[in-house]
Structure formats: C-alpha cells, structure tokens
A and B are shown apart, each in its own frame.
Chain A
Amino acid sequence: MAERVAGPEIERLIQLLARLPGLGPRSARRAALHLVRKREELLGPLADAMQVARERIATCPRCGNVDTSEPCTICRDGRRDPSLLVVVETVADLWALERSGAVSGRYHVLGGTLSPLDGVGPRELNLDPLPGRIAEEGVREVVIAVNATVDGQTTAHYITDLLQGTGVKITRLAHGVPVGGELDYLDEGTLAAALRQRTAF
C-alpha cells in the first residue's frame, strides 16, 4: 500500500479534486499541489468563491438556469426578445448557445431528455411550466434546441405535441454539416439529413 505523502487535510483536498470532470487522482494531486503552493493568490480566493457560490447559487424558478439571483440574469435582461423562447436540455447547452451570441431571446432548461428506455418521463423534466410561460410572456416562437439524438428528438416531438393549440411557431435547430467539417468524415446519417435539408445558395 502506498504511503501517504501529506496530511489528511491535503489528502481530502486531493480526493475531492479527483471527483471533478477531467481530473483523475494524478492530475488532482498536481492541482492540489499547485493550490497549496499558491495559497494566497489562488487557494484563498478559490475557497472564498466556492463558499459564495455555495451560498448564493440557485435555480431560476422561471427558466431553470443556475445563477446567483432569482430570476436569473437572462430572465431579468430587458433587452432580450420576450417573443423568442429557446428550449434546451441542460444549463451547459444554455451556456453553449450564449457563447454563440446568436440567441436574442430567453431560455427554458428542461433538465434532461425523455428516455422511455431508461424510464425518464415528462414528470422528471421541467416541462409543466412551459405552456404557462408561453401564454404569460407572449412568446411567439419556440426554438427546440435539443441534441440530435434519439432521446433528444423524442423530447422535441413531445414538446411539439404539448404546445399544439397554443398557436406558437415551433422550430428546431438544423441538422447537417458542422463548420469545418469534412464530408468524408461525416456519418452517412448526418450527410443524408444535410442533403434532405439543403437550402438554396
């Protein structure tokens, strides 16, 4: 059995860091050592930031985003187009779309996708408030921005059925060739979808 190289406090720090995505035991040890070395510049501020985040972060009751204010910054932003609502699976997807800078509207985070095979039904998702939001906020277009997977598209069709009769325009993200993608490396399903949904040039 390997001997401990540090006290229990540092070992605990290494164990916790090793649980983070992208870090294994070895890289967690390196990160811990780095933090310990930069105690004043990094470890202290990081611990403070994490403490503040722990105390203040909440899930937005309106859209399901995570933020330190309720409603979240996006929901409170008066410059956003209230008639456009983008439905996403997770907060990570919301952040990805925000990075793109292409969304002028607001979001609705589902918290996952329907998966009949794994027993994830509509009750497990943040779907119930969606029709109400559309009516209350004067939404005219709902963009279903879910993954192009079987589960993602099953969810998209469910939402389409759910919103039938609300009169709202429902759109979804295009499926096809990614920017920088080479046709030779694409799977035939994506290629076929791209060809079916080709646009005039």
Chain B
Amino acid sequence: MEWRDEGLVIGARRHGESAVILEAMTREHGRHFGLVRNGRSRALAPTLQPGNTVSLAWRARLDEHLGAYQVEPIRSRAADVLADARALDGLNWLCALMRLIAEREPHADFYEAATVIADCLSAPAVARAPMVRFEMALLGALGFGLDLSRCAMTGARSGLAWVSPRTGRAVTAEAGAPWAERLLPLPAFLLDPGAAVCEADVAAGFRLTGHFLERDVLLPRGLSLIDARARFAGG
C-alpha cells in the first residue's frame, strides 16, 4: 500500500528513542497516523510541529497497518505563532477539533478550511470567525448539525435570531422572545457568509457552538472544552 498526499500536522508522539508517530489531517486520506523514523532528529523535529503543512508519502504492507511516513516540509507555520499566546491557543484548539474527526475518513473540505485558519492564526482576531464556522461545520459532519434553515416554531426563513439549546433548531426573534433568556443568540454571520462580523457576534458564535460541541461531542467521549478555546475565543 502506498500513497502521496499533503497534510496538516496535528500532533506527534514519541515512539522509541528516535521515531515519532505522526498524526496528520491529509487532503485525500483524512486524519491519518504513520510512523516517522528519525522524527526526533534535528532535521525533522521542526517540520513535525503542529500547524505545519507537509508532503507525505505513506507506505505499509497492509492498509490497516500503521505504516510509515516520509515527510517533507511544505509550509512552516508553527514558528510564526510561537510568540503569540492567543495564536498558540488557536492552533491547539484547531488541532483538538481535527482530532474529533474519524480516522481515515476523507474530508478535503475540512483540510482546506483548517489550512485557511492556520494561515491566519498569526492574527488571532481574524481567525476567530472562521473558527466558529469550522466548529459549526464539524458539528454537522459529526451528525450534530444545527438546523438554521427555518424557525422551529413558525417555519419562517427570515428573522432567525436564536437557537434552542435543547434541539439545536433556529427560532425567530419574535417567536423566541418569551424564552430569550434560555435561548442561545444566533449571530448573523452564521446565516449569511457575507454579513459583517463584530466581536460580539464572534463571542455569541463561540457560545453557540461550544454548547453543542460540549454536550453532543465532547462529554460523551469523556472530553471537555479545553482552556485554550476559552482564551482564544475571549481574545
């Protein structure tokens, strides 16, 4: 078995004295592990930092084997974010999100989106809204997508302003008014990609996706939202 692809490094764990097991989000082969011999060497260790884009050649005798990667750098981003605490928080959270995706399930769209977010992490304020959209898309891919197409109460397709924290369905401002304190605000940029985005909208977006990520995805797996997300979301 053999393939070539490019991937975003999500993590690398020590294996023995000199090797690492690399976890990468690849364009065509999804989240994929592989052994990198001499991965802890001076030459390779900087390349295997999370957030870097690498060229990967994977080889294994059988498809279900771990296999071995040959790695070459394409784009080094880790060094750009090391000095910025919020950018690092964003990178840690982005990698944590990609770890929620099933192994070896191709998701070219997530790969592309993660690459775009990783590219703008050095300016964390710019990366926040795309991160919220990424979380929304991830919820959908994991089977917990929010229904923002119409109002759960009236069926209206416009004027949507809230989301029910229980059902994940949108509600219009008028219909939801009596329960406003219990509903989650729905920022406009999640309905209209062209809408202007302000800090309050981004904060509302993180609150919305955080609620469903935690309840539907993380808690059932024994995980929780990491502190890095709160710091990144809070700016």
- B88–A150 touching, CB < 8 Å: yes
The interface bits of chain A over 12-44 (1 if a CB of B lies within 8 angstroms of the residue's CB, else 0) are 000000000110000000000000000000000
Judged by DSSP, the binding face of A is helix
Chain A positions within 8 Å of B227 at CB level: 116
Closest to B88 in A: A154
Specify the chain A residue showing the minimal Cβ separation from B52: A189
Per the bound structure, the CA–CA distance linking A160 and B83 in Å amounts to 12
22 example contacts (A-B, Cβ-Cβ < 8 A) are as follows A116-B226, A117-B10, A117-B92, A118-B11, A118-B13, A148-B79, A150-B51, A150-B78, A153-B83, A153-B88, A154-B88, A154-B228, A157-B88, A161-B85, A175-B79, A185-B43, A187-B79, A189-B49, A189-B76, A189-B80, A190-B46, A190-B79
User: Which residues of A from 124 to 167 have beta carbons under 8 Å from B?
Assistant: 148-150, 153-154, 157, 160-161
Q: Which residues of A contact B13 (CB under 8 A)?
A: 118
Q: Which residues of B contact A190 (CB under 8 A)?
A: 46, 79
State how many angstroms separate the Cβ of A96 from the closest Cβ of chain B: 14
Is A193 an interface residue when CB atoms closer than 8 A count as contact?
Answer: yes
A150 / chain B contacts, CB cutoff of 8 Å: 49-51, 78, 81-82, 88, 91-92
Q: Chain A residue with minimal CB distance to B16?
A: A21
**CB closest chain-B residue, reference A193:** B79
Using a CB-CB cutoff of 8 Å, which residues 72-131 of chain B contact chain A? 73, 76-83, 85, 88-89, 91-93, 95-96, 99
Docked-complex contact A153 and B73, CB < 8 angstroms: no
Is residue B209 contacting chain A, with contact meaning CB distance below 8 A?
no
Lowest 9 A-B CB distances belong to which pairs? A189-B79, A189-B76, A157-B85, A153-B82, A187-B46, A116-B226, A116-B92, A150-B50, A188-B76
A192 within 8 A of B: yes
Q: Measured between alpha carbons, how far is A8 from B114 in the docked complex, in Å? A: 55
Q: Give the shortest distance, in Å, between A99 (CB) and chain B (any CB).
A: 17
> How many Å from the CB of A111 to the closest CB on chain B?
16
B64: Cβ under 8 A from any A Cβ: no
Question: A22-B17, A116-B93 are known contacts; what are 15 more A-B pairs with Cβ within 8 Å?
Answer: A116-B96, A117-B50, A149-B78, A150-B82, A150-B92, A153-B82, A153-B83, A154-B89, A175-B82, A188-B76, A189-B46, A189-B49, A189-B80, A192-B76, A192-B79
Task: Report whether B76 and A149 are in contact in the complex, using a CB–CB cutoff of 8 Å.
Answer: no
A117 partner residues in chain B, CB cutoff 8 A:
10-11, 50, 92, 95-96, 99
Q: Do B228 and A116 touch (CB < 8 A)?
A: yes
Chain B residues near A193 (CB, 8 Å)? 79, 82-83
B26 is an interface residue with CB less than 8 A from chain A: no
A116 to B10, CA, bound (A): 12
Complex CA distance for A150 and B45, rounded to whole angstroms: 11
Please report the total number of A residues contacting B with Cβ < 8 Å.
21
Map CB proximity to B onto A103-135 as digits: 1 under 8 Å, 0 otherwise: 000000000000011100000000000000000
Q: Which residues of A contact B85 (CB under 8 A)?
A: 157, 160-161
CB-CB under 8 A from B99, the residues of chain A are: 117
| Min distance, Cβ A58 to any Cβ of chain B, angstroms | 26
Docked pose: A160 CA to B46 CA in angstroms = 24
Most A CB within 10 A of own CB, among B81, B88, B228: B88
Q: A116-B92, A154-B92 are in contact. Are A187 and B82 (CB under 8 A)?
A: no
Check B172 for interface membership: any CB of A closer than 8 A: no
State how many angstroms separate the Cβ of B91 from the closest Cβ of chain A. Answer: 6
Q: How far is the CB of A51 from chain B (nearest CB, A)?
A: 26
Q: Which residues of A contact B50 (CB under 8 A)?
A: 117, 150
Q: A150-B91, A157-B85, A192-B79 are in contact. Are A187 and B47 (CB under 8 A)?
A: yes
Q: Which of B124-173 contact A (CB under 8 A)?
A: none
Using CB atoms, name the residue of chain A closest to B23: A117
Which residues of B1-53 are within 8 A (CB) of A?
10-11, 13, 17, 43, 45-47, 49-52
